Amino acid sequence: MNLRSSITKMINSVNPDVLVTVFVSTGYTIGAGKKQIPTYDSGTIGYAQVQAMNSDDIQLMYNFQIQGVIRIIFLKNQLHGIIRKTGDGGDIVQIGNDKYVVQRIIEQWPDWTKAALVLQVD
Protein backbone atom coordinates (compact mmCIF):
# COMPACT_ATOMS: atom_id res chain seq x y z
CA MET A 1 0.00 0.00 0.00
CA ASN A 2 1.39 3.38 -1.04
CA LEU A 3 0.25 5.53 1.89
CA ARG A 4 2.10 8.63 0.67
CA SER A 5 0.31 8.50 -2.69
CA SER A 6 -3.09 8.29 -0.97
CA ILE A 7 -2.32 11.23 1.30
CA THR A 8 -1.04 13.29 -1.63
CA LYS A 9 -4.33 12.74 -3.46
CA MET A 10 -6.30 13.92 -0.41
CA ILE A 11 -4.14 17.02 0.04
CA ASN A 12 -4.40 17.88 -3.67
CA SER A 13 -8.20 17.74 -3.49
CA VAL A 14 -8.04 20.67 -1.03
CA ASN A 15 -4.84 22.44 -2.13
CA PRO A 16 -3.72 21.46 -5.66
CA ASP A 17 -0.05 21.30 -6.56
CA VAL A 18 1.27 24.29 -8.51
CA LEU A 19 3.71 24.47 -11.40
CA VAL A 20 7.13 25.73 -10.28
CA THR A 21 10.52 26.26 -11.86
CA VAL A 22 13.59 25.45 -9.77
CA PHE A 23 16.88 27.17 -10.53
CA VAL A 24 19.73 25.30 -8.81
CA SER A 25 22.59 27.49 -7.64
CA THR A 26 25.84 26.81 -9.50
CA GLY A 27 27.99 29.26 -7.51
CA TYR A 28 28.87 32.75 -8.58
CA THR A 29 31.00 34.87 -10.87
CA ILE A 30 32.84 38.07 -10.02
CA GLY A 31 31.40 41.23 -11.56
CA ALA A 32 32.32 44.89 -11.57
CA GLY A 33 33.75 46.12 -8.30
CA LYS A 34 34.57 42.52 -7.32
CA LYS A 35 30.89 41.94 -6.55
CA GLN A 36 29.71 38.33 -6.42
CA ILE A 37 26.96 37.59 -8.96
CA PRO A 38 25.03 34.35 -8.30
CA THR A 39 24.73 31.87 -11.16
CA TYR A 40 22.03 29.25 -11.67
CA ASP A 41 21.24 26.38 -14.01
CA SER A 42 18.62 26.83 -16.73
CA GLY A 43 15.76 25.69 -14.52
CA THR A 44 13.70 22.55 -14.03
CA ILE A 45 9.91 22.65 -14.23
CA GLY A 46 7.76 20.50 -11.97
CA TYR A 47 4.85 20.48 -9.55
CA ALA A 48 5.05 21.28 -5.86
CA GLN A 49 2.75 21.67 -2.89
CA VAL A 50 2.92 25.25 -1.57
CA GLN A 51 1.47 25.92 1.87
CA ALA A 52 1.34 28.51 4.60
CA MET A 53 3.49 27.95 7.66
CA ASN A 54 2.23 26.00 10.65
CA SER A 55 3.04 27.12 14.20
CA ASP A 56 6.24 25.02 14.38
CA ASP A 57 7.47 26.52 11.09
CA ILE A 58 6.67 30.04 12.32
CA GLN A 59 8.66 29.44 15.50
CA LEU A 60 11.60 28.05 13.50
CA MET A 61 11.69 31.12 11.25
CA TYR A 62 11.37 33.40 14.29
CA ASN A 63 14.32 31.63 15.97
CA PHE A 64 16.46 32.20 12.87
CA GLN A 65 15.24 35.84 12.66
CA ILE A 66 13.95 35.31 9.12
CA GLN A 67 11.44 37.90 7.98
CA GLY A 68 9.48 38.63 4.82
CA VAL A 69 6.92 36.74 2.76
CA ILE A 70 7.60 33.11 3.60
CA ARG A 71 6.08 30.02 2.00
CA ILE A 72 6.55 26.34 2.77
CA ILE A 73 7.10 24.07 -0.23
CA PHE A 74 7.00 20.30 -0.55
CA LEU A 75 8.91 19.31 -3.69
CA LYS A 76 9.50 15.84 -5.13
CA ASN A 77 13.18 16.65 -5.58
CA GLN A 78 16.16 17.97 -3.66
CA LEU A 79 16.57 21.66 -2.81
CA HIS A 80 19.49 23.41 -1.16
CA GLY A 81 19.34 26.31 1.24
CA ILE A 82 22.07 28.87 1.74
CA ILE A 83 25.24 27.49 3.34
CA ARG A 84 27.22 30.62 4.15
CA LYS A 85 30.39 28.81 5.26
CA THR A 86 30.87 27.06 1.91
CA GLY A 87 29.03 29.56 -0.30
CA ASP A 88 26.78 26.77 -1.58
CA GLY A 89 23.03 26.64 -2.04
CA GLY A 90 20.51 29.39 -2.31
CA ASP A 91 18.39 27.72 -4.97
CA ILE A 92 15.60 29.83 -6.47
CA VAL A 93 12.00 28.60 -6.86
CA GLN A 94 9.76 30.52 -9.24
CA ILE A 95 6.03 30.31 -8.52
CA GLY A 96 4.08 32.20 -11.16
CA ASN A 97 5.96 35.48 -11.64
CA ASP A 98 7.40 35.50 -8.11
CA LYS A 99 10.86 34.24 -7.25
CA TYR A 100 11.69 32.82 -3.83
CA VAL A 101 15.08 31.86 -2.41
CA VAL A 102 15.35 28.60 -0.48
CA GLN A 103 16.11 29.92 3.00
CA ARG A 104 15.92 26.79 5.15
CA ILE A 105 15.56 23.07 4.55
CA ILE A 106 13.07 21.86 7.13
CA GLU A 107 12.99 18.18 6.10
CA GLN A 108 14.89 16.36 3.38
CA TRP A 109 14.45 12.79 2.22
CA PRO A 110 15.83 10.96 -0.83
CA ASP A 111 12.74 11.71 -2.92
CA TRP A 112 11.30 14.96 -1.47
CA THR A 113 12.15 18.14 0.43
CA LYS A 114 10.21 20.46 2.73
CA ALA A 115 11.73 23.93 2.60
CA ALA A 116 11.05 27.49 3.70
CA LEU A 117 11.13 30.00 0.84
CA VAL A 118 11.45 33.79 1.15
CA LEU A 119 10.10 36.09 -1.56
CA GLN A 120 12.76 38.08 -3.43
CA VAL A 121 11.83 41.64 -4.28
CA ASP A 122 14.56 42.42 -6.82
- The pLDDT tens digits of the residues spanning 68-100 come to 788 899 998 888 887 777 767 789 999 999 999
Q: Which of 79, 92, 84, 83 is nearest to 118 (CA)?
A: 92
| Residue 55 pLDDT greater than 80, yes or no | no
Alpha-carbon dihedral angle through residues 60, 41, 87, 122, given to the nearest 10 degrees: -60
Confidence of residue 47 (pLDDT cuts 50, 70, 90): very high
- The pLDDT tens digits of the residues spanning 26-38 come to 888 899 999 988 8
Q: How high is the pLDDT of residue 27?
A: 85
Give the predicted TM-score (pTM) of the model. Answer: 0.80
Confidence of residue 5 (pLDDT cuts 50, 70, 90): low
Which domains does the chain show, CATH number per domain?
16-119 (2.40.10.270)
